[in-house]
A and B are shown apart, each in its own frame.
Chain A
Amino acid sequence: MQTAMTIAPRLSRIRWAKLRPHLVGWAFISPWLVSFGFLMVYPFIASFVLSFTRYQLIGSPEFIGFENIQRMLFEDPRVRDSLKVTFTYVLLTVPAGTAISILVAILLNQKVRGIPFFRTSFYMPSVIGGVGLALLWTTILAKNGPVNTSLAWIGIEGPNWLFDTTWALPSLALKALATAGGAMLIILAALQGVPQHLYEAVELDGGAEWAKFWHVTLPQISPAIFYNVIVTTIGVMQSFVDAFIMTDGGPGTATLFYGLYLYRVAFGFFRMGYASALAWMIFLIILGLTILNFRIARYWVYYEGEE
């Protein structure tokens, strides 16, 4: 009897001592657990369920089976148009943006005077971002804006960029490339982390500059490049603001990004069921692209300590 009375609280004390660190840990991360539940898991599942319904904010969602999916895949020409625009935009911006960010980062890694000034200037447009930068580029690309004026100097008559079916999308891509500052700084940080002794090893072997670049720099910064490719692809696939502000998707559907179309369906026409189906499709496409990127990465991304 007496033993039972003394053991019971001791046992629970031991259990509590064992349990405590875990509870404390979960308590510290609880803010994230809440948002993960309510703002990630729940919406993620809910939008999947909504994909099979018709719901226009009045009444409750009505189950309609695969109607949305059928319409999205086979009947809605806007879906095909906007996917084409979005993929073209990815192809126009991601490879070129990656190349520019590497080039500029290498340039900013040179030991010449005034580098902080150049770094600041190159990064600044990415900071302004959003609507302001979109408006800025709207005037840069205007019919008698500075781009066309410069072209006129060399005898070329520039088009009305943003209002020309052929040129509207490349114009938006051009604008995107002028704001590659963030990616550039990531590569720059990676460049500054390349161990010097690797370069010295190449020098001892009598390697030239390009050998250093090809055999040391590029493999060493490849994880950072890979990260940029992943993130910019995901970001560009979801583009919205530039088309919304600069072209409103036009002329015609020349710059109708998938994100813009989805926004119109959801918050213009309030067709929440169909918009959810559209959202899930872009999610699956982005997921596929990301997996593809990881597959390709095996052939070109170098990780330290891996053979």
Chain B
Amino acid sequence: MSALTASWSKSRTTQRRIRDLLAYLLLAVGLVWFIFPLVWVILSSLKTFQDFNQIPARLLPSELYLGNYPRAWNSVPFGIFFLNTTIIVALCVVGELVSASLVGFGFSRLRFWGRNFLFMILLSTMMLPFWVTIIPRFLLYKEIGWTGTWLPLIVPSYFANPVYVFLMRQFFMTLPSELDDAAKIDGCNELGIFLRILLPLTKPALATIAIFAFINVWTDFVKQVIYLSQESKYTVAIGLAFLRWQIAQGDPVPGLLMAATVFTSLPMIAVFFIGQKYMVRGIALTGRTGT
């Protein structure tokens, strides 16, 4: 009897081991698929011009050549572009946080006429294609003299992005309503409940929105390329595209491009590592990504 259970559990562990091995094998394939391009770009950024011309292409650089970095940094005014992008991103993140938390609070904790109907509309606007509104928006901004400035990129973030409103609402709904009732008995009005009771509890949701907004604004290329026209106002994403076309037009230095790709992605990777926990939590809470 005991021999039987022993052999049964043994076959069970073998089965388990085979399963794990298979899982690791597939995970390794996934790792190559997803992460190899990133490794490749880092390695390539350290290659000399000669390294690139070798056939077959070499994986490792022949030496640890750092020259691509300063050359890439100086080939386009990246210093200014980083500063510009940082200002735009910072102002947008503040706007998204303030407006999404106010509107999210309204939709989750207050009762008013048309609430559910308006929330349905808010959800459906998330599916409205970007292209169907961009032309009149552009004309509107042109009319009031905002094209060519950062205002069309920044100001809308103070008027509540539906994606972040939804996230805030979902988070507010996880907080017990007894909190509001207790505060009301203590004489708090709605603004007091929002600012003093609930907002301090929503830090994880605010962190999630801040991270998503940071990444979205940093990588948003379409709007930047539509609204900005002067080089002094350009962003990192436009600078990178700029460099690409310079190189396409004959300057044969792929190492430069790779170095630029690495240092322009660093802020995103840093934010990702700091905030990954919050991003995953936000996705679990809403069932959608914040983009």
Contacts and interface: CB of A to CB of B under 8 A. Distances in A.
A182 B57 CA distance: 32
Contact of A282 (B24, B111, B131): B131
Nearest to B126: A231
Interface stretch (A67-75, A164-172, A210-218, A234-242): A234-242
A135 B248 CA distance: 12
B112 A22 contact: yes
Q: How large is the interface on A (under 10, 10 to 19, 20 to 34, 35 or more residues)?
A: 35 or more
B133 A44 contact: yes
Interface in A71-89: none
Interface string B85-121: 0000000000000010011011100111101001001
B35 interface: yes
A107 B30 contact: yes
Interface in B173-221: 190, 194, 215, 218-221
- Classify the interface of chain B: helix, strand, loop or mixed: helix
Interface string B236-271: 010011001000000000100110110011001100
B231 interface: no
- Classify the interface of chain A: helix, strand, loop or mixed: helix
A4 interface: no
Given A140-B40, A224-B287, A24 B190 contact: yes
B287 to A, nearest CB: 6
A47 B135 contact: yes
Nearest to A110: B23
B110 A135 contact: no
Nearest to A104: B30
A22 B106 CA distance: 10
Interface stretch (A7-15, A91-99, A120-128, A299-307): A120-128
Contacts of B137: 39, 43
Contacts of A43: 132-137, 140
Contact of B159 (A35, A148, A149, A286): A35
Given A32-B160, A124-B38, A132 B261 contact: yes
Contact of A186 (B37, B219, B237, B289): B289
Given A24-B110, A118-B27, A50 B136 contact: yes
A131 interface: yes
Given A120-B276, A128-B269, A36 B107 contact: no
Interface in A132-154: 132, 135-140, 142, 144-146, 148-149, 152
Contacts of A29: 102-103, 106-107, 118, 160
Contact of B241 (A36, A142, A192, A245): A245
Nearest to B220: A130
Nearest to B52: A144
B153 interface: no
Contact of A40 (B133, B142, B289): B133
B291 interface: yes
A178 B215 CA distance: 18
For the complex of A and B, the 10 pairs showing the least CB-CB separation, nearest first, are A25-B112, A28-B106, A130-B219, A35-B159, A43-B136, A46-B136, A43-B133, A32-B160, A182-B289, A189-B284
17 contacts: A25-B110, A28-B110, A31-B102, A43-B135, A43-B137, A112-B24, A120-B273, A123-B276, A130-B220, A135-B244, A136-B37, A138-B244, A138-B257, A145-B57, A149-B57, A238-B131, A244-B241
